[in-house]
C-alpha cells in the first residue's frame, strides 16, 4: 500500500506518533521523546510514498509559527520587569559563550574547518521552544527557573537566527563580505521580520476591536500566524522571527488576546505537536552518524559545556538563586525546529555549499541526540530544582515575580500605597482608575490601620468588579517607620485588590499571611531580607511556606475529609 496522498500520510504519522508518545509517557519520560523516536522508526521502515517530507512542509511551518508566536507572547514586557537583567545577561552569554566553546572544540579538538565550525557554533545557540514548553507543561512545573527557561528559549532562538545570519554573511569571503556587511544583514533581517510580524498583529487587533466579535479572536490570531509566516517567506526572511515578533506585539498591545488564542488552539494542540515532532524525527538519518561519530560527540559535548558555563555565569552575575544558576544551562539542552531550519538554509545556500555536507551531517546527528536526551534532561532539572508539580492553584498565586518589589521606599503610608498602586497598575488592568483605587486604599487605611505587627502591613481595596484577586508586595530590608501598633518598623507591605465576589479568599489571604509572618520567625526573616523579587518569590512558594501559601486542592481535600469525619 502506498501513502501518496499527503493527508493520508499525515494521518498515519499522527496516529503512530500519538501511540509512541503514550507508550513512552507510561515510562515516565516526556512524550516528545516518544514522538521523535517514533519518527526515527518510521524513517527506518521506509514506508512507500512517505519518503518526500516536503509534502508536509505547510503543516510543519504552521506548527513552527504557532510555537514562535506563543513563545513570543510570553515576552510581555511589564510582566518580565524583574526578569530583564537575567534574560539580558543570558542572551549575551548565549551569543558569546556557546558559539565560542563550540568553535574552539570543533577546530582544535575535532580538526574541523573554522568556517564550518562557525556555522555550527551559531546553530548551537538555538533551543527548542516547543519541546521546552511541552516538558514544563507535562511536569506541571512552576517557579523562577521555569519562568526564566520558557521566556529565554524564545529569545535564544532570535539570537541564534541573528548569529547565523551574521556568520552566513561573513564567512564566504570576498570584498563584499565584511564585518559591516554582516552586521547590516542582521539588522535588515530583524527589521524586515519585525515589520512583518508587528504589521500582521496590528491589522488583526484593529479587526478584533472594530469588526470581529470575541468568539473569533482565536481564529484571527491563527490568521496572524499564517500571514506572518507567509509574508516573511515572500520577503525572503525568517518566518520564525516574524511570528515571534507578531506574538510579542499582540501580547504587549492587547494581552487578553493571547489567552483567547491559547484557549482556542489548546483543544487540538496535542495533535499539532505530536505530528510536528514525529515529522522532525523522520528527518533524522542515523546512517550518517557513524562516519563522523567523533565530530558529533565533540559538537554535542561542546554545546552542553557552552550552555552550562554561559548560563551559570549569567545567572551568577544577575544574582539568581542557586537552583536557577545550577540547572538553567542543562535545561536548555533540547535542540529543535530553528536548528533544523538553519541547517536546511546551509543546504540550500550556494554560498555555503562548500561546508554544507559537514554542517548537515554533524548538525543533524547531534540534533538527534539532543532531541532524544534533551527533554528528559530538562524534566530532571525542573524536578531537581523543586519546581515540578508546582503548577497547581495556591493561595498566593497572584504574587508572581512581577508582583513583587524589594526596593520599597516611602516616608508615609499614603506615599507607599501610591507607589505600590502605580506598580500594580503597570502590570494589571482594573475596572476603576488608578487614582480612584489609591483613594479607596488610603480611605480604608485612615479608618483603621492595617499594620498588623512584626513588620507587616496589608492595605486593601474591595473592587466593585473584577475576575480575580491581584496584589503587589513591597519589601524593605531596612524597614519603614509607619507607627505600627507594636512600634516596630514595617518591612513588608502587601497591597491587595479583591473583587466583591472573592471576599472569602481575601479573608483567607489576610489570615494566612498574617499568621505565618507573625508566628514563623524564620520565614519572616528570609522574606524581609530577600535580595531580589525572585528570592522573595522562592520564599513564598517554598515547601516551608505551605502553611501560608497552601495548595487549594489540598485544602479542599482536607476540608472534605473533615466534613466526612
CATH number of 121's domain: 1.20.1530.20
Q: Do 327 and 379 have their domain in common?
A: yes
DSSP string of 470-520, one letter each residue: EEEEEEEEEEE----TTSPPEEEEEEEEEEGGGHHHHHHHHHHHHHHHHH-
* pLDDT for residue 271: 82
Same domain, 155 and 238: yes
Predicted pLDDT of residue 5: 80
Sign of CA dihedral 336, 337, 342, 345: positive
Q: pTM above 0.95?
A: no
Distance in angstroms (rounded) separating the CA atoms of residues 476 and 492: 6
Question: In which domain, by residue range, is 277 found?
Answer: 6-384
Same domain for 121 and 224?
A: yes
> Is 1 inside any structural domain?
no
pLDDT tens digits in sequence order for the chain, 565 residues long? 555 788 888 888 899 999 998 898 888 777 877 887 888 888 888 776 677 777 888 888 888 888 778 778 877 777 777 778 888 999 999 999 999 999 999 999 988 888 889 999 999 999 887 788 888 888 888 888 998 898 888 788 888 888 888 888 777 654 456 677 777 888 888 899 999 999 999 999 898 888 887 778 778 888 999 999 999 989 888 888 898 899 889 888 887 676 667 677 677 777 888 888 788 778 766 666 677 788 889 999 999 999 999 999 999 998 888 899 999 999 999 887 678 778 777 876 787 878 877 887 888 778 778 877 888 899 999 999 988 887 766 667 777 888 889 888 888 889 999 999 998 888 787 878 889 989 989 998 888 888 888 888 888 888 877 667 888 899 998 888 888 888 889 998 989 888 877 777 667 777 777 777 777 778 888 888 888 888 888 887 776 666 666 555 554 444 443 344 4
Listed residue (20, 15, 23, 51) closest to 37, CA to CA: 20
Give just the sign of the alpha carbon dihedral 246, 247, 252, 255.
positive
Residue matched to cell numbers 524564620: 522
Q: Looking at the domain assignment, is residue 505 inside a domain?
A: yes
Same domain, residue pair 459 and 366: no
Nearest CA to 102 among 282, 335, 316? Answer: 335
Asked if residue 392 belongs to a domain, the reply is no
Distance separating alpha carbons of residues 157 and 155, to the nearest angstrom: 5
In a domain, 330, yes or no: yes
> What is the number of alpha carbons within 13 Å of residue 465 lying toward its C-beta?
5
In angstroms, the Cα distances linking 484 to 408, 452, 455, 479 are 17, 7, 8, 11
Same domain, 290 and 411: no
Q: Which grid coordinates are listed for 345? A: 538554509
DSSP, collapsed to helix, strand or coil, labels residue 111 as coil
The answer to the question of residue 394 being in a domain is no
The pairing of strands 460-463 and 470-480 is unpaired
CATH number, residue 426: 3.40.930.10
84 lies in some domain: yes
- Mark whether 219 and 274 lie in a shared domain: yes
Is 437 in the same domain as 355? no
Give the span between the Cα atoms of 415 and 451, in whole angstroms: 15
pLDDT at 388: 86
Q: Are residues 316 and 176 in the same domain?
A: yes
Quote the number of domains for the chain. Answer: 2
384, 413, 448 - which closes a domain: 384
| 524 CB-side CA count, 13 A | 16
Which residues, in sequence order, are CB contacts of 470 under 8 Å at separation 6+?
A: 398, 403, 424, 428, 430, 496, 497
Residue 390 belongs to some domain of the structure: no
Distance (Å, whole) CA 438 – CA 421:
7
Phi, psi of 474 (to 5 degrees): -110, 135
pLDDT computed for residue 57 by the predictor:
83
Quick check: is 82 in a domain?
yes
pLDDT of residue 169: 78
pLDDT of residue 218: 79
Do 269 and 370 have their domain in common? yes
Task: Indicate if 280 and 413 belong to the same structural domain.
Answer: no
Q: Are residues 124 and 214 in the same domain?
A: yes
DSSP assignment of 422-460 equals HHHHHH---SS-HHHHHHHHHHHHHHS--EEETTEE--E
C-alpha cell at 561: 475529609
What's the number of CA atoms in the CB half-sphere (13 Å) around residue 405? 20
Same domain, 322 and 445: no
Cβ partners under 8 Å of residue 67, min gap 6: 129, 130, 133, 337
Amino acid at each position: 500500500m502506498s501513502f501518496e496522498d499527503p493527508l493520508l500520510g499525515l494521518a498515519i504519522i499522527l496516529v503512530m506518533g500519538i501511540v509512541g508518545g503514550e507508550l513512552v509517557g507510561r515510562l515516565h519520560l516526556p512524550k516528545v521523546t516518544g514522538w521523535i523516536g517514533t519518527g526515527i522508526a518510521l524513517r527506518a521502515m521506509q514506508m512507500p510514498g512517505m519518503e518526500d517530507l516536503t509534502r508536509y512542509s505547510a503543516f510543519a511551518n504552521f506548527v513552527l509559527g504557532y510555537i514562535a508566536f506563543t513563545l513570543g507572547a510570553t515576552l510581555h514586557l511589564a510582566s518580565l520587569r524583574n526578569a530583564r537583567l537575567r534574560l539580558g545577561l543570558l542572551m549575551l552569554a548565549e551569543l558569546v559563550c556557546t558559539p565560542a566553546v563550540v568553535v574552539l572544540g570543533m577546530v582544535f579538538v575535532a580538526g574541523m574547518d573554522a568556517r564550518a565550525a562557525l556555522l555550527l557554533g551559531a546553530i548551537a545557540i538555538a533551543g527548542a521552544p516547543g519541546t521546552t514548553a511541552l516538558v514544563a507543561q507535562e511536569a506541571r512545573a512552576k517557579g523562577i527557573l521555569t519562568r526564566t527557561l520558557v521566556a529565554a528559549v524564545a529569545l535564544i532562538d532570535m539570537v541564534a537566527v541573528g548569529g547565523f545570519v551574521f556568520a552566513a554573511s561573513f564567512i564566504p569571503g570576498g570584498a563584499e563580505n565584511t564585518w559591516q556587511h554582516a552586521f547590516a544583514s542582521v539588522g535588515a533581517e530583524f527589521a524586515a521580520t519585525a515589520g512583518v510580524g508587528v504589521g500582521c498583529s496590528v491589522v488583526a487587533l484593529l479587526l478584533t476591536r472594530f469588526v470581529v466579535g470575541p468568539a473569533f479572536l482565536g481564529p484571527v490570531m491563527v490568521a496572524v500566524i499564517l500571514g506572518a509566516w507567509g509574508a516573511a517567506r515572500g520577503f525572503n526572511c525568517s518566518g520564525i522571527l516574524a511570528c515571534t515578533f507578531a506574538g510579542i506585539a499582540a501580547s504587549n498591545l492587547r494581552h487578553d488576546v493571547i489567552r483567547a488564542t491559547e484557549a482556542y488552539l489548546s483543544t487540538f494542540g496535542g495533535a499539532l505537536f505530536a505530528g510536528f515532532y514525529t515529522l522532525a524525527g523522520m528527518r533524522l538519518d542515523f546512517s550518517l552518524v557513524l562516519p563522523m561519530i567523533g565530530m558529533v560527540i565533540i559538537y554535542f559535548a561542546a554545546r552542553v559545556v557552552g550552555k552550562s558555563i554561559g548560563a551559570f555565569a549569567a545567572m551568577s552575575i544577575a544574582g539568581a538563586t542557586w537552583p536557577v544558576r545550577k540547572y538553567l544551562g542543562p535545561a536548555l539542552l533540547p535542540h529543535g525546529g530553528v536548528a533544523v531550519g538553519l541547517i536546511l538554509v546551509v543546504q540550500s545556500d550556494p554560498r555555503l555549499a562548500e561546508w554544507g555536507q559537514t554542517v548537515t551531517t554533524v548538525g543533524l546527528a547531534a540534533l538527534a541526540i539532543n532531541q532524544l536526551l534533551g527533554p528528559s534532561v530538562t524534566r530532571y532539572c525542573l524536578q531537581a530544582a523543586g519546581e515540578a508539580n508546582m503548577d497547581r492553584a495556591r493561595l498566593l498565586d497572584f504574587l508572581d515575580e512581577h508582583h513583587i518589589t524589594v526596593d520599597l521606599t516611602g516616608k508615609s503610608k499614603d506615599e507607599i500605597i501610591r507607589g505600590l498602586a502605580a506598580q500594580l497598575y503597570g502590570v494589571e488592568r482594573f475596572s476603576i482608575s488608578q487614582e480612584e483605587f489609591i483613594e479607596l486604599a488610603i480611605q480604608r487605611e485612615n479608618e483603621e490601620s492595617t499594620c498588623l505587627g512584626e513588620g507587616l502591613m496589608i492595605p486593601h481595596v474591595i473592587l466593585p468588579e473584577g475576575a480575580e484577586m491581584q496584589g503587589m508586595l513591597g519589601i524593605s530590608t531596612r524597614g519603614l517607620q509607619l507607627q505600627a501598633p507594636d512600634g516596630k518598623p514595617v518591612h513588608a507591605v502587601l497591597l491587595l485588590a479583591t473583587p466583591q465576589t472573592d471576599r472569602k479568599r481575601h479573608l483567607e489571604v489576610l489570615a494566612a499571611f498574617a499568621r505565618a509572618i507573625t508566628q514563623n520567625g524564620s520565614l519572616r526573616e528570609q522574606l524581609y531580607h530577600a535580595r531580589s523579587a525572585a528570592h522573595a518569590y522562592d520564599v513564598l512558594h517554598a515547601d516551608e511556606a505551605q502553611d501560608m501559601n497552601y495548595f487549594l486542592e489540598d485544602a479542599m481535600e482536607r476540608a472534605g475529609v473533615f466534613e466526612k469525619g
